[in-house]
Amino acid sequence: MEVFLGAAMGSLGALISVLLRSDQLEIDASAGRRVHYFEGIMRALIGALAGLLFVLAVKSNVLLGAINRSDKAFTILLAVSIVAGASERLLPNLINQISAILVGNLERTAKQSIVETKGEGPPDDDETRDDGEDEEIVS
């Protein structure tokens, strides 16, 4: 439920952003209504995606995990979703940050895998050492 409300608040943030900048927006009257409707819908969708992604990032403790421990977590999450929808730079920055975290984890896993396959890692407890002598097992 919080994810959907975050998306709705992100759309609201995008709408607020457009309304606050309406005097600065360049509108081409010859482009027709469809182009302007499409542009408005796309802005609202991008705001919704920003709010949705931000809520998911907070809920998974990727970003601002301290919000989850707050008594007012739901209210803070909705307010920050509005900001996420209104900010045009937040969504690309958030995507880049999540990508960097994921790529960093993948690189560490790959390096760890290479070390283990080369035999440079610590030996397991059940591995036997071959020192050239056969040991006799007495039962």
Residues 41-53: tens digit of each pLDDT? 888 899 999 999 8
- Cα first-last separation, the chain: 65
| Cα 27 from Cα 36, distance rounded (Å) | 8
How far apart are alpha carbons 14 and 20 in whole angstroms?
Answer: 10
Contact 98, 62 (CB under 8 A): yes
Q: Kindly report which listed range (6-15, 19-28, 93-102, 109-118) carries the lowest average pLDDT score.
A: 109-118
Highest mean pLDDT among 24-28, 59-63, 127-131: 59-63
What is the C-alpha to C-alpha distance for residues 109 and 125, in angstroms, rounded to an integer? 22
Residue extents of the structural domains in the chain:
2-118
The secondary structure of residue 65, as a DSSP letter, is G
Q: What is the pLDDT of residue 109?
A: 73
More confident residue, 63 or 34: 34
Between residues 95 and 14, the one the model is more confident about:
14
List, in order, residues 6 or more apart from 83 with CB less than 8 Å away. 13, 90
Q: For residue 44, give both structure tokens.
A: 């609202």
Residue 139 above 50 pLDDT?
no
Give Cα 52 to chain centroid, integer Å: 10
Q: CB–CB of 81/4 below 8 Å? A: no
Three-state DSSP class for residue 4? helix
Contact 86, 13 (CB under 8 A): yes
Q: What is the pLDDT of residue 131?
A: 53
pTM: 0.62
Reported confidence tier of residue 130, pLDDT bands at 50, 70, 90: low
